[in-house]
Amino acid sequence: MLKTLQETVSFLRPQIPAETKIGVILGTGLGDLANSITDKHEIFYETIPHFPVSTVEGHSGKLIVGKLGGKPVLAMQGRFHFYEGYDMKQVTYPVRVMQLLGFEYLFVSNAAGGMNGSFRIGDIMLIEDHINLFPEHPLRGKNFAELGTRFPDMSEAYDKKLRNLATSIAEKNNIKLQYGVYVGTQGPTFETPAEYYYFKVIGGDAVGMSTVPEVIVARHGGMKVLAFSIITDLGVLGKIVEVSHEEVQKAAKIAQPKMAFIMEEVIKQL
């Protein structure tokens, strides 16, 4: 694992400015943020040693090296989902690479279903916490002390200072933000009404098929995390309608400029 990672890092190191401290993972239908990145240089996943290659429609797989909000960033356009058949080490591999490149921050976006009755389609939810319901843990197996501690703390998985910064930026710019707990589940089915209700009862506000594994590994590696869900459909009793991947992408696309604005402003102020 470590040797493999080192080979990936050695390949990428010369292509990524040494001052780069921010990694960004762009979720389903949320790839447009990449258009705001300037001085761009793209690296396709299939050219990177040991990198998994993404398969799902709506996810193009490449790293984008460049500047966002005046700061050097590395964005992942296309992530690896557990439901695609990758194991957890593959799902989280890019985050490990970011860690070994010396990154300090991970910004994450995703599309999610909303269980909270006050949410509307197109809302942006700042993730305050998560519930991990994936059937396999990304840290299961031998722990490499060089990468992090065996039993990592998760009392503040989503960095409070970054969350406060995002909140104040949203308030100043009249952007409505919702706040809540993200439930990470394996998919690929969307939820039955009973499952949405169950996720609400256990304390969830939104549910999706990503983010939690990457955030766990980022925290294990000491990176600070800021994450947003775009609410693309509602898992609220009485409001549940048929949902498709296409609708999720469409709803995400509409909301994404506001989320992109907040992310860029946070990055400016880091």
Q: What is the DSSP string of 11-76?
A: HHGGGS-TT--EEEEE-TT-GGGGGG-EEEEEEEGGGSTT-----STT---EEEEEEETTEEEEEE
Residues 176 to 205: which contact ligand HPA by CB under 6 A? 190-191
Reduce the secondary structure of 160-177 to three states and give it as a string. Answer: HHHHHHHHHHHHHCCCCE
Does 208 interact with ligand HPA (rule: CB under 6 A)? yes
236 touches ligand HPA (CB under 6 A): no
Pick from 94, 113, 204, 221 the residue near ligand HPA by CB under 6 A.
113
Of residues 99 and 232, the one with the C-beta less far from ligand HPA: 232
Inter-axis angle of helices 212-220 and 93-100, to 10 degrees? Answer: 30
Would you count residue 235 as binding ligand HPA (CB under 6 A)? yes
Residue type present at position 138 = P
Residue 51: name the closest of 86, 16, 103 by CA: 86
Told to check if 213 binds ligand HPA by CB under 6 A, we report no
* Binding characters for ligand HPA, 63-102, by CB under 6 A (x = yes): ----------------------------------------
Please select the residue that binds ligand HPA; options are 68, 74, 91, 111, rule is CB under 6 A.
111
- The binding site for ligand HPA (CB under 6 A) comprises 111-113, 190-191, 207-209, 232-233, 235, 243, 248
